[in-house]
Chain A
Amino acid sequence: MTDVMADRSAVGPDPEVTPGETRSGPRPAPPTQRQARRRGQLAAWAFLAPFMVAFVLFVIWPLIHGIYLSLTDQSLTGTGGSFIGLQNYSEALSDAVMWRSIGNTVWFTVITTVPLVLFALIMALLVNTGLPGQWLWRLSFFMPFLLASTVISQIWVWIFNPEIGAANEILSAVGLEPIAWLQTANVDLISIAIATIWWTVGFNFLLYLAALQNIPTLQYEAAAVDGAGPWRQLFSITLPQLGPVTGVILILQMLASLKLFDQAYQMMDGNSSESSRPIVQYIFEAGFVGYRFGYASAISYIFFVLILLVGITQMIVLRRRKEDS
């Protein structure tokens, strides 16, 4: 950390905040000074130490070491490891497979985010009307979220089985042509998206439900007195109030979709196809199948930059919206 940072955060002779005390709960100053302060620092670090050790070891250090690895030709087998500058990055940027993987990941994010937010909203609005059977609705929509990726992958591979799967049985029952869901280029990613929407919508549903509970009943009563019907109430009270929550859910959802790996890898049974391979799977393949740790690290960083770009853009948009309103 730089000196500027240390200076700013140092406990200065600030009359407002007593050393050893908290920002959130100012109390009358205790009579002791320097010793108490030192003891306070020690206590603080005793509380922090376990988490910080793990944080530095398993987040900060890999983050830094990853940069170094990405500049070497390190292999998983232990050979290599010499410094090769930005070669990995220039190779990655001209690697068609990497760009295709990024394209797949972005496309997957697009086709999952909208339904995952929209379905969750509809489910939450319907459940929140207080219709009988609350217990059953929550179970139906949320239970898939509790299942491991392995379980949902096995279930959907079975449903999408081209010869005897339920999906094609239903299609042929209504007179449509069967589809080779996971064996057709470009359709495979959509099939994975369908399984993903079914699997994770329950999480967003719960977040919306929690937000709906927070809208004061009083507002509905006032609107009802003014003669607003249910539709009017929905569009002039409920939906506007859900705006900020929707922003948060959108961010969480897009970031989650960009990290696609588990179900894509397992539904394709490890055989990646050109049109279904997400970027995380390419990192995995470069590192653990091709043994190229240096190259895989470089792709990891490109992936990280993608996440940062999306996350920061969304936060800026969200903040601007908030300021506007």
Chain B
Amino acid sequence: MSATTTLNEIDAPGADVTQVRRTNRMPGEKRFGLLRILAFAALVSMAVLWLLPVFWALVTSFKTETDAASGGLDLIGPSGFTTQAFEAILSQGNVYIWALNSLWTSAVITAITVAISALAAYAFSRLDFKGSRWIFLAVIASIIVPSQALIIPLYYQMLTFNMVDTYWGLILPQVVMAPIVFILKKFFDAVPVELEDAARVDGAGRLRVFFSVVLPLSRPILGAVSIFVFIQAWNNFLWPFLIINDTTLMTLPVGLQTVLSAYGVQYSQVMAQAVLAALPLVIVFLFYQRQIVKGVATTGFGGQ
């Protein structure tokens, strides 16, 4: 093992952040030494600091508007605990449509992105073709291009395609993620060729080999990048905000943004809305923390 931790080692699919080893203690070091107590205190205070904003949003969302607007740091307002704000938000209907739009467009973006990236990555990794090296370099180089610098020509393009204010206009420009191709290529590079050769000798074509040998082997890495792509798509703001004007087509982040000013000073409703919007991913995270943490850490170094 080399003395330095290289990029390759970090985003190897084996790097499991959830498996924290407990052996950083010296042999003979006391279990409850002063250092450990200090570390624990530091950790607790940082965690409290980081949980506080969300906690405060939660507290506010269960107050009446009058209590929220009167300020103060009390956990339950003078008028007591209430779910009024949530009832008001949920009775307005649009939140459901936006959540549904976010869910299915993010799922479609994830499916398309991972599918086309895996196919391309396999070609770059295993198939030799004219210009392979240069095309791959071009794809990798494009990682440096900020998507924000492309919004003007992309929007213009969507105008000419008649895709402004459509789901396809929202989805299609989001499916090109060069870092995913890079990560998958690296994974395929590490898969022993012999496995595929056996199937090839049996007369299976490239596509057959890809689907019946390579893909099943790649399930963990595909899962990891899918989680990453889904989170990105679910939270994406700028492009959906530009391309969608129709209220019924909006995703959750964009929809919520438009009503923020409409509510103005209704603080507990705004916080109830924030809590509701945060809920889906937080619940999923509570159940699948291990997979999500691993997926993000594995994909993370590929770039954003």
Contact = CB atoms under 8 A, between A and B. Distances in A.
Interface of A: 1, 5-6, 8-11, 17, 19-25, 27, 40-41, 43-48, 50-52, 54-55, 57-63, 65-66, 69, 74, 119, 122-123, 126-131, 133-151, 153-156, 158-159, 161, 163-166, 169-170, 173, 198, 203, 206-207, 209-211, 213-217, 220-221, 224, 229-230, 233, 241-245, 248, 252, 255-256, 258-259, 261-262, 266, 269-270, 280, 283-284, 287-288, 293, 296-297, 300-301, 303-304, 307-308, 311, 325
Interface string B59-102: 01000000011111100000000000000000000000000000
A154 B256 contact: yes
Interface in B118-165: 119-120, 122-135, 139, 142, 144-146, 148-157
B2 to A, nearest CB: 10
A130 B157 CA distance: 52
A159 B156 CA distance: 38
A300 B151 contact: yes
Given A22-B128, A131-B36, A248-B7, 7 more contacts: A47-B127, A140-B46, A147-B235, A148-B252, A151-B277, A214-B5, A244-B7
Contacts, number: 379
B144 A311 contact: yes
B154 A62 contact: yes
A245 B6 CA distance: 8
Given A47-B206, A198-B53, A300-B152, A130 B23 contact: yes
A279 B96 CA distance: 34
Contact of B153 (A69, A142, A153, A224): A69
With most chain A CB atoms within 10 A of its CB, the pick from B57, B149, B152 is B152
**By DSSP majority rule, is chain A's interface helix, strand, loop, or mixed?**
helix
A69 B123 CA distance: 34
B183 to A, nearest CB: 14
Contacts of A209: 17, 20, 297
B111 interface: no
20 contacts: A1-B131, A5-B134, A21-B128, A22-B125, A41-B129, A43-B207, A46-B207, A52-B120, A138-B18, A140-B47, A148-B256, A153-B257, A154-B273, A155-B56, A155-B274, A156-B53, A158-B267, A198-B50, A203-B300, A214-B10
